[in-house]
C-alpha cells in the first residue's frame, strides 16, 4: 500500500541510469519481499515452491536481483520492519482480512477455471511470514549482504540512514520514505526493465525522486507533505473521503489542515501520527559490511534444501567471480 501520493509526485520523477546508482542503497526489505512474493508466480497464481511446498519465490528474486546489483556496483543493505506502532494495528488487521479473502477467492477462481482472476487474487493473498523473513535473511547473509532490523518502521530507518549519509538513497516502491525524511528515493530498481501493465509489456527504468525538488517545486515543506499524506491516508490512518493528493495539497497550502482534521478525522490521533513521521524510532546501532558471496553455502541452501537448479545457481554466482576485477565485490575494498 503506502501513502497514495503518486499523482502529486509524478512530475518530480527522473529516470536514472545504473551508473548513477553506484553506492550504498538502503532497501525496504518488506517492500521488496512483498513484490517478489506477489509477482513471481505462475499464470494461475501458484508461487515457486520446493518439493515440500515451501514458497521460494522470494529466494529466487533475492538471488538474481542482488547478484545484478553487486555487478553494477550497488551495495544494498536490507532494512526489515521491527515492531509497528500501536496506531498501525487497524491497518494490519485490515490487510489480514483482505489477504484471507483473496486466498479464498483465489481458490474459487481456480475451481471456475478463471486463470486471470485466480492470479489476481493470488497476488493479493501474498503474506510475509516468519519463514519468508528467516530464509531471506539467511540467503542475504550467505550472499555477504548486510541487513538490519529497524526499531519500528523499516522505511523510517531507511530515511534516517540516507539523511545520516550512511546510504546514498532509499529503495522502495512506496513514497512513505519521503514523509520520513529521505532526501533521495529510488523506485523501480528492477533489472529486467519490463513489466506487464494492463496486459501490455511496458519498459520501466529506475526513477529517482529528490525530496528538495519536490518541496521547492510544490512550495511546501516536509511537514506539509506529511500533512497531505495524513489527509489522503497513510499506513496509520484512513484518508478523508473525497480528498486526494490534489485537494490535499490545496488544503494544506491554504492552512486548512487543522480544520479538516478536527471536522473530518475526529477519531484519528493526528498529533501522534504527525510526530511519528517527523521523529520516528530509529537506531544508529548497526554496522554495514559487504563480503564475497559464499558460493558453497548458497548452493547448499538453495539447491540442497530448496530444489533450485545447481546449474542456474552456479551460473549466476560464477558470472560474478569470473569478472576481470572491476565488477567483482572485492573491488569495493
Partner DNA sequence: CTTTACGA
Partner DNA sequence: TCGTAAAGG
Strand partners, 55: 49
List 18, 20, 44, 64, residue binding DNA (CB under 7 A): 64
Q: Does 34 bind DNA (CB under 7 A)?
A: no
Q: Does 56 bind DNA (CB under 7 A)?
A: yes
Give CA separation, 110 vs 50, 105, 162, in Å: 21, 8, 44
Considering beta carbons, is residue 20 or 238 the nearer one to DNA?
20
List 8, 34, 41, 252, residue binding DNA (CB under 7 A): 41
Q: Does 125 bind DNA (CB under 7 A)?
A: no
Residues 6+ apart with CB under 8 A from 231: 239, 240, 243, 247, 248, 251, 252, 257, 260
Give the CA count within 13 Å in the CB-facing half-sphere of 283: 14
- Among candidates 46, 34, 237, 72, which has minimal Cα distance to 154? 34
Q: Please report how the helices 29-39 and 130-142 are oriented relative to each other, as an axis angle in degrees rounded to 10.
A: 110
Span from 10-18, 47-55, 101-109, 147-155 in contact with DNA (CB under 7 A): 47-55
Q: Does 80 bind DNA (CB under 7 A)?
A: no
Q: Does 163 bind DNA (CB under 7 A)?
A: no
Q: How far is CA 154 from the centre of its chain?
A: 9
Span from 147-155, 184-192, 243-251, 266-274 in contact with DNA (CB under 7 A): 184-192
C-alpha cell of residue 44: 494461475
Q: Does 18 bind DNA (CB under 7 A)?
A: no
Q: At closest approach, how far in Å is the CB of 181 from DNA?
A: 27
List 191, 247, 268, 299, residue binding DNA (CB under 7 A): 191
List 16, 68, 135, 182, residue binding DNA (CB under 7 A): 68
Q: Please report how the helices 29-39 and 115-124 are oriented relative to each other, as an axis angle in degrees rounded to 10.
A: 160
Q: What are phi and psi of 140, to 5 degrees?
A: -60, -45
Q: What angle do CA 294, 296, 298 make, to 5 degrees?
A: 65
Q: Does 61 bind DNA (CB under 7 A)?
A: yes
List 3, 8, 21, 40, residue binding DNA (CB under 7 A): 40
Q: Does 97 bind DNA (CB under 7 A)?
A: no
Considering beta carbons, is residue 192 or 221 the nearer one to DNA?
192
Considering beta carbons, is residue 262 or 300 the nearer one to DNA?
300
Interacting positions 262-291 with DNA (CB under 7 A)? none
Strands (E) across 188-256 are located at 194-197, 200-203, 207-210, 233-234, 237-238
List 91, 105, 166, 190, residue binding DNA (CB under 7 A): 190
**Which residues are near DNA by CB under 7 A?**
35-36, 39-42, 46-50, 56, 59-61, 64-65, 67-68, 190-192, 194-196, 201, 204, 306-309, 312-313, 315-316
Amino acid at each position: 500500500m503506502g501513502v497514495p501520493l503518486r499523482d502529486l509526485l509524478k512530475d518530480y520523477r527522473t529516470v536514472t541510469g545504473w551508473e548513477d546508482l553506484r553506492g550504498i542503497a538502503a532497501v525496504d526489505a518488506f517492500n521488496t519481499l512483498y513484490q517478489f512474493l506477489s509477482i513471481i508466480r505462475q499464470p494461475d497464481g501458484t508461487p515457486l515452491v520446493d518439493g515440500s511446498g515451501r514458497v521460494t519465490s522470494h529466494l529466487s528474486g533475492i538471488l538474481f536481483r542482488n547478484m545484478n546489483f553487486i555487478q553494477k556496483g550497488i551495495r544494498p543493505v536490507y532494512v526489515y520492519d521491527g515492531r509497528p506502532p500501536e496506531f498501525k494495528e487497524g491497518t494490519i488487521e485490515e490487510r489480514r482480512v483482505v489477504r484471507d479473502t483473496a486466498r479464498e477467492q483465489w481458490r474459487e477462481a481456480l475451481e471456475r477455471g478463471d486463470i486471470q482472476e485466480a492470479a489476481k487474487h493470488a497476488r493479493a493473498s501474498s503474506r510475509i511470514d516468519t519463514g519468508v523473513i528467516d530464509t531471506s535473511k539467511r540467503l542475504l547473509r550467505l550472499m555477504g549482504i548486510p541487513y538490519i532490523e529497524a526499531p519500528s518502521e523499516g522505511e523510517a530507518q531507511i530515511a534516517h540512514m540516507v539523511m545520516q549519509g550512511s546510504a546514498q538513497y532509499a529503495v522502495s516502491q512506496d513514497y512513505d520514505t519521503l514523509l520520513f525524511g529521505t532526501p533521495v528515493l529510488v523506485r523501480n530498481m528492477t533489472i529486467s526493465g519490463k513489466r506487464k501493465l494492463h496486459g501490455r509489456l511496458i519498459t520501466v527504468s529506475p526513477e529517482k525522486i529528490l525530496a528538495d525538488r519536490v518541496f521547492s517545486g510544490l512550495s511546501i515543506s516536509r511537514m506539509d507533505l506529511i500533512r497531505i499524506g495524513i489527509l489522503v491516508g497513510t499506513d496509520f490512518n484512513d484518508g478523508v473521503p473525497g480528498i486526494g493528493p490534489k485537494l490535499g495539497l490545496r488544503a494544506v497550502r491554504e492552512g486548512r489542515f487543522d480544520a479538516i482534521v478536527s471536522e473530518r478525522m475526529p477519531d484519528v490521533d493526528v498529533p501522534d501520527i504527525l510526530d511519528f513521521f517527523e521523529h520516528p524510532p530509529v537506531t544508529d546501532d548497526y554496522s554495514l559490511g559487504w563480503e564475497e558471496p559464499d558460493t558453497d553455502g548458497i548452493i547448499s541452501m538453495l539447491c540442497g534444501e530448496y530444489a533450485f537448479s545447481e546449474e542456474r545457481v552456479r551460473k549466476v554466482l560464477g558470472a560474478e567471480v569470473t569478472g576481470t576485477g572491476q565488477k567483482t565485490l572485492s573491488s569495493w575494498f
